[in-house]
């Protein structure tokens, strides 16, 4: 095996292995597992039009309830990726015995995070600028894309200590369901799957709840407005460590054929 500047040239067998990513001498997508440490999260729950969650959920997923969660993350210390911002819009969904939350929209300020999410999990990640700020007695979370704040969420600053389990009252968002769609170079479908992954080694350092607001602004490239806010429910601000590990294929559309 050829080694130059401490980098090994891969063999054919190495290329065939899972966890391989290009460019091979400076891979972009990290292998599992990797850790997120000291993550700050603003999570807001609201009620929406159930017809729209049903419209956005790919069959054969079934929607569970009419509640949407928006998580805005300040990733302070992540293996490979470094600090970045992320936002995940999700609602409860099930496939047989698998219960979790389906994500129709995700936005990240990291190109590595976008590539990993799309290539590995099938998450519909796009570039954006999620951010969390403390403005006096208010926690403000925003998600900007194309110069438009498509999401603005606010929560009263640390009014009530909360049990992290309270955040799973509507659905278990630690199980994330996604539609993975990747084509061959000739345009034929290569992968069409529903995937599932869970966060592990979750260590919550603090968790607070309080009244919240959610505002969505239209953007054709970030159409979160399709899940309209009918009633803001509860907000949570929490800080935690967790590990991202390999997930599962729970449905293979191409295997049906």
Over residues 100-135, the pLDDT tens digits come to: 999 999 999 999 999 999 999 999 999 999 999 999
The predicted pLDDT at position 257 comes to 55
Give the residue from 115, 91, 110, 133 showing the smallest Cα distance to 224. 91
* Cα separation, 152 vs 255, whole angstroms: 41
Tens of pLDDT, residues 12-23: 998 899 888 899
Tens of pLDDT, residues 49-70: 999 999 999 999 999 999 999 9
In the annotation, is 4 catalytic? no
Tens of pLDDT, residues 144-167: 999 999 999 999 999 999 999 999
Q: Which of 125, 126, 158, 180 is catalytic?
A: 125
* Cα separation, 54 vs 133, whole angstroms: 33
Is 174 inside a domain boundary? Answer: yes
Q: 254 forms bridges with which residues in the sheet?
A: none
CB 214 within 8 A of CB 229: yes
Tens of pLDDT, residues 23-53: 989 899 888 899 999 999 999 999 999 999 9
- Structural domain of residue 145, as residue ranges? 28-256
Neighbours of 189 (CB within 10 A): 12
Is 21 inside a domain boundary? Answer: no
Q: Give the chain's domain count.
A: 1
Is 34 inside a domain boundary? Answer: yes
Is 193 inside a domain boundary? Answer: yes
Is 5 inside a domain boundary? Answer: no
Is 8 inside a domain boundary? Answer: no
DSSP percent split of the chain into helix, strand, coil, nearest 5:
15, 55, 30
What pTM was estimated for this model as a whole?
Answer: 0.95
* Cα separation, 170 vs 101, whole angstroms: 10
* Segments in 20-78 forming alpha helices (H): 50-56
CATH number of the domain within which 192 lies: 2.40.400.10
The predicted pLDDT at position 110 comes to 97
Is 122 inside a domain boundary? Answer: yes
* Cα separation, 201 vs 245, whole angstroms: 10
Is 82 inside a domain boundary? Answer: yes
The predicted pLDDT at position 169 comes to 94
């Amino acid at each position: 095996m050829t080694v130059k500047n401490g980098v090994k040239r891969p063999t054919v067998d190495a290329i065939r292995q899972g966890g391989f990513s290009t460019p091979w001498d400076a891979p972009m997508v990290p292998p599992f597992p990797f850790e997120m440490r000291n993550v700050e999260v603003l999570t807001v729950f609201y009620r929406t039009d159930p017809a729209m969650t049903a419209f956005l959920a790919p069959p054969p997923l079934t929607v569970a309830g009419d509640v949407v969660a928006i998580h805005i993350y300040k990733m302070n210390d992540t293996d490979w990726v470094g600090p970045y911002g992320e936002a995940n819009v999700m609602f409860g969904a099930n496939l047989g015995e698998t219960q979790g939350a389906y994500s129709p929209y995700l936005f990240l300020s990291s190109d590595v995070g976008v590539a990993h999410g799309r290539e590995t999990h099938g998450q519909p990640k796009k570039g954006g600028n999620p951010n969390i700020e403390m403005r006096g007695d208010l926690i403000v979370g925003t998600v900007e894309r194309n110069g438009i704040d498509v999401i603005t969420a606010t929560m009263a600053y640390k009014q009530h200590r909360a049990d992290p389990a309270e955040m799973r009252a509507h659905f278990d968002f630690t199980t994330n369901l996604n539609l993975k769609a990747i084509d061959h170079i000739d345009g034929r479908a290569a992968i069409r799957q529903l995937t599932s992954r869970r966060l592990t080694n979750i260590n919550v350092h603090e968790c607070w709840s309080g009244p919240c607001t959610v505002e969505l602004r239209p953007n054709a490239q970030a159409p979160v407005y399709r899940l309209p806010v009918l009633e803001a429910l509860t907000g949570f601000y929490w800080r935690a460590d967790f590990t991202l590990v390999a997930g599962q294929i729970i449905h293979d559309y191409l295997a049906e054929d």
